[in-house]
Structure 1
Amino acid sequence: MASLKRASKLLEDAICPICEEILRDPVTTDCGHNFCLQCIHQVGKTTENLQCPLCKLPVDKNMLRPNKQLASIAEKIQATDPAEFQPEEEEPRCLKHKKKLNYFCEKDKEFLCLVCCDSKDHKTHEVNLIDEAAQNYKVQIETQLQILGQKDKEIIKEKKECEEATQVFRARIHLEKLKILQEFKNVCQRLEEETKFHLSSLSLLEQEGVKQTEEYVTETERQLTTLRNHMEYLKNRQQAPSMELLEGINDILGRYDGHPKCTVLSGSLTHTTFNIYPNMFTSSNNLSINCLGCRDREFQFHNPTPVPNLEKKVSEAKASNEPFIESLKKLTDNLNTEGKKDKSTFLNSLDIKDTKNWHLLQKNNSELLSSVPMTLDMASADPNLTFSEDLKKASLYVVDGKSNTQAKPRQLYPFHCVRGSPGLSSGRVLWEVEIQGPPGRVGIVGVVAQLPQGSQIHNSEPCCLWALRISSSGCQPITNCSIQKNLPICLTKVGVYVDYDRGDVVFYDAITNKHIYTFQTSFDRQVFPFFGLFPNCSSITLSP
């Protein structure tokens, strides 16, 4: 490198300043500068008073001295490979004075040559050697780098906190969606029950009315049949010869007691009595006929009502249903009024892009979540755990300090564990769990991958557990019994949000809604909610 620098310097000295080529027949002026003989003669032809092209001193044309040594060097250079004389990057020079730049003006932030330093423009300014100025600015840059590095750390921290807050935000939104779905499900279920009750009541009333009507028609037809048979008998007797007609006439006409139970069949002189359904004929004013057997008594014929109290029962049913129908109408009106108002307010707050996204989400039915409630799976539970009727609460009770050891061994000793249901193989799920018990209680809350029957969690490979170990002094993220770090956060209610497709398991404080910890993994099989209790008399309660 040094030899190349010397060769480059030598080449620089062998260049003619006029033609900028290697010197040919070099000559030296009185001022000591070297030029090609032809080049300096050419300059002399254009002026009577020749001046040195470099220093502008007078040059006597007759005093040009040949420089044999420089000519020899020039010849050697011409005979050498040009690649050996590749000069290094030319040092920057002052554009005004053509001098080497050695100084730096602190005020104007300019590079200066020696002449510039003495000029009136910079004479009063603070001027340092370039290397010294550079060293000072290196210190300033280092200080700035430290400040920026600290800012970088702060931005990363803020970014992480924002991402964590976003995860909790998504979890809370998911929870609100589940609540809305559950409430609508409850309303729909209650409406369905009410609908079934009212429809069943009306159907029962309809059946009773139809039954009574059919009984009336059947009895009336039977009564008419009997009546017509007797009329036919009387007609035949009426057409019989006189002797036959009069034979036993008193028995025929007085066969039935024609008083309180007698039934007037027609306006003829024939009197007969039917003791069939006397209650169906009452003494209301429909038809009055004098009976031959009891001319001193007047009887009235009443057309019976097929279904007794039908109008009353229909009115009662209508009165019972009207409040329900009115409530449904009010609910519909309120939903229409409030719904339109809320929707209008919501849509007016959106820009064009968000409005388009809103309509796309409205069309995408796949966005609707499953409202299957999270429950505890008794089949997977430790035998010392007891459960509430709705399978939302599990409690640990060990009698006289002796655990029930008849069932399968514990998956995560010393905890008494149970899985949640249903499992998850895609999509998202969220639940919140409250931990209760004595001051020294310790709980496990998280998710566990599906394991072969009888497998132990701490022996599983690869990782199968992503959970929080929660105690009264703090909590620790754990995987397969390996504690990640200690978080000085006291929890009584923790939320767990699992995004299977993204591989996120997010824990947050369900009381303060602050982020606790996030596992980022990749699931390769179905996972289940997982809970563990220790010691005795501790419990967990799920929601929603």
Structure 2
Amino acid sequence: MEAEGPAKGLCEEATCPLCLDFFKDPVTIDCGHNFCKSCLAKCWGEPGPEASCPQCREKIPQRTLRPNRQLANMAELVQKLQEGGRKKEGRRDACKMHQEPLKLFCREDEAPICTVCDRAKEHRGHNVIPLEEAFQEYKEKTKLQLESLRKKKEEFRDQQYVQELRRKDYQTQLDLEKMKIKSLFEGMQRFLEEKQHFCLAQLEDLEKEMEKRQDKTLTKLTEEISQLTLLITEMEEKCLQPASDFLQNIRNSLVRCEKNLGGYVPDISPNLNERLKMTSQKISALQKATESYKESLEEALIKAVWEQTVNTDSCIQAPKKDSLSRAPNRVNVTLDPETACSRLILSEDLKNVRMLGCTPHSSNVFPQKAFVLGRERFTSGRHCWEIRVSSNQWAVGISRDSVRKKGSINPNTDDSIWAVGVKPGSYYSSEVCIFPEVGSFSLNRIINLLYVVLDYEVGRVEFYNSKEFIYAFSSISFSGEEIRPFFFVPNDGSLKCC
């Protein structure tokens, strides 16, 4: 019994993980794992430039196979030792009733029997085959089940990864919806406070439901993977057993394999996608209503925004095409050096810009050439980007592509730009101006990080300070012209595209 553990380990080292038999013509691949040459060829299929290890899934750029002669010799030696051991253990594998060797297998009773049992009335008329034939037949069935179990495990792992990515995407969308809701209720008085609390509570419930469902899904996936791992280990160990032990309760083992292959974790994404899309569409409708008439806000809120209650237990449907088409596309904005004047210094990665030199601080006008445009051009869709402000004078927004041909502009009067910022000469850096100039107002905090959200089809651009709404230009007619990110950087100032 003491030698049983080391002997088992030696057998495992000499066993191919694909065919679960002793290595035949073993080869080693780049990741260090070993397989039978024929098994690996069958697994990889058609030849190609790249493959992956069947055991660890590591990419193998070059299909380099190194013959492992030492492993081949060891496998041959272990096989001979095992065959010799089986001969010595012949008596231990004898029939308990007749003390004869178990050389046959009864299909009806699914049990090994001896030649005397075969003639007994208990097995008369039964379908009896040689034990070795039954061993090979059921071993092949077990191999097929193992392969299916491994594939199912990989499917669950892929689902787990996708769920994690979707979880982050949902959180980003939820954060944006919170920002919209907060902007709707700023400036409203006491009678709207109850409605503000109600709307935020709806999104909080959605967020909690999302977390709850995602946690439940991920927990289920983890449980399924754990169960499959245990079952695979158990079946691999069973394949290493002698024929008589291996065939004990073989039917139950195969049934368990088939049962575990039926595992399924429902995808909750379509339901959440539709709910997020519906929330976004309803909030947009509410924004238009509040711009037209504040007195009817309560009626519009009930009728246009929360008219329908989403049933959280409704059936999960397949995702619809473009179900998130109204979600803004986060843009990685870079600066266009072709549009920057000579006094503007751009970083190598085209993410930072600063003004070289300084105009007198008493001036209350922008230098008319101190602007640069983003490389990105928009003719459709919804887009958002972030800008970090690190000076007391700046302007950020959007402009028509044609503004680059003007050479110099005045943001106070130019109708080709839509921007917010702090003018030179402003005493408070929290005093925000609108360009073209339509007035100014003060915020409760200094702007450090600015969010710009552009909706081309609607003709609207919104500005947020962190999670606080600042200002929005609406009913803009872009007339099909390309729209680009716009930056003004006067007076030794600097901006950074995040």
TM-score by length of 1: 0.33
Kindly name which structure, 1 or 2, has the bigger radius of gyration based on alpha carbons. Answer: 1
Structure of greater relative contact order (alpha carbons < 8 Å, 6+ residues apart): 2
TM-score by length of 2: 0.36
